[in-house]
Chain A
Amino acid sequence: MFEFIKQPWPWYISGTAIAFIMVLLLYFGKSFGFSSNLRTICILAGAGKSNNFFDFDWKTQRWNLLFLLGAVAGGFMAGTILKNDAPLQLSTATITDLKALHIPFDGRLNPSAIFNWHFALSLKGVMIFLGGGFLVGFGSRYAGGCTSGHAISGLSNLQLPSLWAVIGFFVGGLIMTHWLLPLIF
C-alpha cells in the first residue's frame, strides 16, 4: 500500500481522489473552494478594519483554514516519507519548448532554475513570484473562485458562470504560455 502511494498516480486515480475530496467536504456540510482562504488570511492580518470586503466573520471559514494547514502537511508528507525519487515523466515536446525558454528540465516537481531563493530575490524573480502570485490572488477573488471552486465544485453543479470562469482561466493561461513567457524568460 505504502509503495503504491509513493508512485506517481495515473490521471484516473487522481481525478477520482479529487472528486472524493469535494464530496467529503460536502458531506461535512462545507464546499470545496481553496481561494477563500486568501481572503480569510487577509482578515486575520487586519484587513477588515480598513475595508468592508473583509468585514465578515472569519470564524465561519475556520474549517477551510484547517483544510489549508492539512494541505501544507500533506505536501510535506508527499515530499518526505512518501517521496518518490524517480524523475517526473514530462512530454519531450514540453522539454524542448522549455529549453527554448532557457528553463532546463531536471525531472523534479518544479524547475530548480526558477524555484530557488537566489532567483526569487532577484529583480526579475520578485516580479515573477510576487507579480504572478498577485495575478492569481486578484483574479481568483475577482472571478469568485479558483480551480477548486469553479472548475471542480462549480462545473460539478452545472454552473454556467463557472464555465465562463474556467474558459477565462484557460484564455489567460494560453496568453501567458504562448505570448508572454517568451518575452519574460
Chain B
Amino acid sequence: MKVIRFVITGIIFGIIMVKSEAASWYRIQEMFRFQSFQMYGIIGTAIILGMISVYLIKKFQVKDTQGHPISFQNKDKRWPKYIIGGVIFGLGWALTGACPGPMFINLGYGYSSFLIIILGALLGTYVYGLIRQYLPH
C-alpha cells in the first residue's frame, strides 16, 4: 500500500491534467494570449486553496502518515536563478505547451512524439548539472 498510494495519486493527477485541459498545447497558447480565464482560474483556485491548506496545516501542526509534523522548507533566497531559470523555462513551456508533468501525461495519453520533448528535457537537466558552477545564481 505504501508504494501503490503514490501511483494512485499520480493517476489522479494525470486524469486531472487532461480533464482540466491544462495538458493541452492549445490551452497554454490561450493563456499566454490572455484570451480565456480557464488556466488562470485553475492555477488561481489551486494556489488559493493551497495557501489555506498550508496555513491550516501549520496552525494545527498536522502530522503526516508516519506521525511526523508536516514541515515546509523555505526556498533559497538568492533570486537571479529564479528569474533567469524561470524565463528559460517559460520559453520552452510556450513552445512545447508542456511543463514536466504534462509531457509525461501526454505521452500516456497517446502522443508518442512527446518522447522527444522528454528526451530534450532530460538533456537540458543534464547540461544544467554540467555547467551550473559557471552560471549566475
Contact = CB atoms under 8 A, between A and B. Distances in A.
Contact of B35 (A24, A93, A146, A147): A93
Interface string A21-34: 11111111111001
Contacts of B13: 18, 21, 67, 70-71, 74
A35 B128 CA distance: 13
A178 to B, nearest CB: 8
Nearest to B101: A34
Judged by DSSP, the binding face of B is helix
Interface residues of B, number: 111
A60 interface: no
A53 B135 CA distance: 14
Contacts of A154: 75
B5 interface: yes
Given A133-B124, A143-B85, A18 B42 contact: yes
Interface in A1-57: 5, 7-9, 11-19, 21-31, 34-35, 37-39, 41-42, 45, 47, 51, 53-54
Interface string A139-159: 111111011101111111111
A110 B95 CA distance: 12
Nearest to B128: A141
Interface in B1-41: 3, 5-33, 35-39, 41
B35 A138 contact: no
Contact of B109 (A75, A126, A158): A75
Contact of B41 (A15, A30, A47, A68): A15
14 contacts: A7-B19, A9-B16, A24-B9, A34-B99, A73-B11, A98-B29, A110-B26, A129-B117, A132-B117, A136-B121, A138-B124, A161-B79, A168-B87, A175-B90
Interface of B: 3, 5-33, 35-39, 41-47, 49-51, 53-54, 57, 62, 64-66, 68, 70, 72-77, 79, 81-101, 103-114, 116-130, 132, 135
